[in-house]
Copies of this chain bind each other. A is one copy, B any other.
């Protein structure tokens, strides 16, 4: 068996023209009544399965955020793991990103890497840069996995810290430079830049060359898709993972939620293909 490799899986999806990433932020309270089952675990898993089935041919990645699962305790973690198993079963070519935004000292990051890659079995994880290079090593040494460092996030006020000028250079560019020059020895470093900041996205693309960039915020956070594509694609018109979460998975609150998710994902996919 050939080991799964995040970058290779991603490249195979980009070849198909797929750039959309569906964020499985499956907040229990927002799951439609019609999708409810006897237990929390079944409700979340069955909702996710329908979303995955409805969108799996359109995406370059799925991206569950563990916050929405761990708030439900052991049942939530079980549903998260089963969701990942299900993606690997029905869409084995689609890489899975755990949007965990983890960042601790080295021995603790080793435990987080074990949790993400060995227990859950995802292909990539998002991580925090604030502690510096040294504690990220337990992530980077997993050469077949994608390690996506937060660079410029999508939230309002992201620039408060990330835009701080360091000898005239904003901090997010310093992080992008570290990603390009120091953290990519194993070819597995990626960065995250919010779609709500297209100028900063373009700046980062210039620094990181053809490194994959995960971008979030085109849906509920109102990022502009065309601007995002133009700013974020690399020279070969690849390199972007364009996430939408709530706008796709909660596109309808009715029985037609999976159909509505597909419709929204198809619309985003078409819009992106037009730019390409």
Contact = CB atoms under 8 A, between A and B. Distances in A.
A155 B107 CA distance: 10
Contacts of A131: 150, 153, 155, 158, 161-162
A25 B67 CA distance: 20
A71 interface: yes
Interface stretch (A7-15, A98-106, A139-147, A262-270): A98-106
This protein's copies in its complex: 2
Residue from the set A27, A81, A108 with the largest chain B CB neighbour count within 10 Å: A108
B155 A132 contact: yes
A106 B72 CA distance: 18
A-side interface size class: 35 or more
Contacts of A158: 131-132
29 contacts: A25-B108, A27-B111, A67-B104, A67-B111, A67-B112, A68-B108, A70-B112, A71-B112, A71-B114, A73-B77, A74-B74, A74-B77, A99-B104, A101-B102, A101-B103, A106-B155, A128-B128, A129-B130, A130-B150, A130-B153, A131-B150, A134-B155, A134-B156, A134-B160, A161-B174, A164-B166, A164-B171, A164-B174, A171-B171
